[in-house]
Amino acid sequence: MVGYDPSNREATPSPEEAALAGSAAGMVTRALISPFDVLKIRFQLQIEPVSTRRAEGKYRGLFQASRCIHSEEGLSAFWKGHIPAQLLSICFGAVQFASFELLTEVVHETTPYDSQTAGVHFVCGGLAACSATVVCQPLDTLRTRFAAQGEPKVYSNLRHAVSTMCRSEGVLTFYRGLSPTLMAVFPYAGLQFFSYNVFKKLLAPPPKAGNSGANLRSLVCGSGAGMISKAITYPFDLFKKRLQVGGFEAARVHFGQVRSYRGLVDCMLQIAREEGVRGFFKGLSPSLVKAALSTGFTFFWYEFFLNAMRNLREEQTTNSLAKDFEER
């Protein structure tokens, strides 16, 4: 079970174990879902309507966009920005899960609330994600810039991107879109942990069944939690992406129209005026697919690596006891 468990403290991971398992889960998951992330970002940054009936926008659907990107930029385009994205996933997973485990323990030890309730998981999950966001926002901005650029590339590699952005736009450019990110990430991550907690309890096996099928339940529960949280908080993710590519308009001209925004409110008003309410949900389809896979795999791999570390720890303890017994 994710979170501090007072009934089984031996099974509760330390912050170090949670950070290691979280970073490993983020790394594996990112490699698997990167193509959906690139598709989502391309749709989010497209000003023209996303419609299969009218050929106004460059990208008009999941399959059409996939074929278009593959034919124009090659298979590797689906992993554009993969290095900063991997760094982001490793860093975010480590900070988020270590913070979450620590926060649930603090709540249980210092308040009358049970650390395994869904409400506590909502609050602790949201706060943990906010702390991870502040730490990892520069990597997220770099990831978005790489995924957004076409051919020829504006940034040849990570070092070139960092130096160019610092020189031409200043250090604060790495925190573009932080406000909508924080506004979205608290309820988004909170709902992830909340829904995961609820689904795990609903799908819990009978006591006699033991822990059979635990990995599959983690995947299913995580996928459901990811889709629910993404659907509710999606517009803020779109606002963040639009703001993150501010000052990057030249690299996006051949994709279609470009816009400049003065801030979050101006971004919201321009989208509402020019693209309508549907504009707030551009890229929702690949985002839901990505959210289901991403969250499902994240919780799956997190619990998988925690169990592996727990089994290794128990094996080492058993071997140590056996060695002490033999020496006596």
pLDDT in tens, 90-130: 999 999 999 999 999 999 888 888 888 999 999 999 999 99
Name which of 13-17, 126-130, 183-187, 242-246 the model is least confident about: 242-246
- The pLDDT of residue 24 is 93
Q: Where are the alpha helices (DSSP H) in the chain?
A: 15-44, 62-73, 82-110, 118-148, 158-169, 178-202, 214-244, 264-275, 284-327
Residue 56 reports pLDDT greater than 70: no
**Side chain identity at residue 159, one-letter code:** R
- The pLDDT of residue 62 is 80
Structure tokens at 77: 């385009």
For residue range 278-295, list pLDDT tens digits in order: 888 888 888 898 889 999
The residue assigned the tokens 């925190």 is 175
Residues with Cβ within 8 Å of 122's Cβ and at least 6 positions away in sequence, in order, are 190, 191, 193, 194
For the chain, percent helix, then strand, then coil, each to nearest 5?
80, 0, 20
DSSP single-letter state for residue 162: H
Distance between CA 20 and CA 26 in Å, rounded?
10
Mean predicted lDDT score pLDDT of the chain: 83
DSSP single-letter state for residue 4: -
Domains belonging to the chain, first-starting first, are 7-315 (1.50.40.10)
CA distances (Å), origin 156, targets 90, 161, 218, 309: 22, 7, 39, 39
Q: How confident is the model at residue 194 (pLDDT cuts 50, 70, 90)?
A: very high
- Are residues 2 and 295 in contact, defined by beta-carbon separation less than 8 angstroms? no
More confident residue, 75 or 328: 75
- The pLDDT of residue 209 is 58
pTM (two decimals) = 0.74
Distance between CA 63 and CA 53 in Å, rounded?
14
How far from the centroid of its chain's Cα atoms is residue 78's Cα? 17
CA distances (Å), origin 277, targets 107, 108, 272: 39, 42, 6
Structure tokens at 271: 């989208």
Name which of 146-155, 166-175, 213-222, 266-275 the model is least confident about: 146-155
Mutual angle of helices 178-202 and 284-327, in 10-degree steps: 60
Distance between CA 215 and CA 201 in Å, rounded?
14
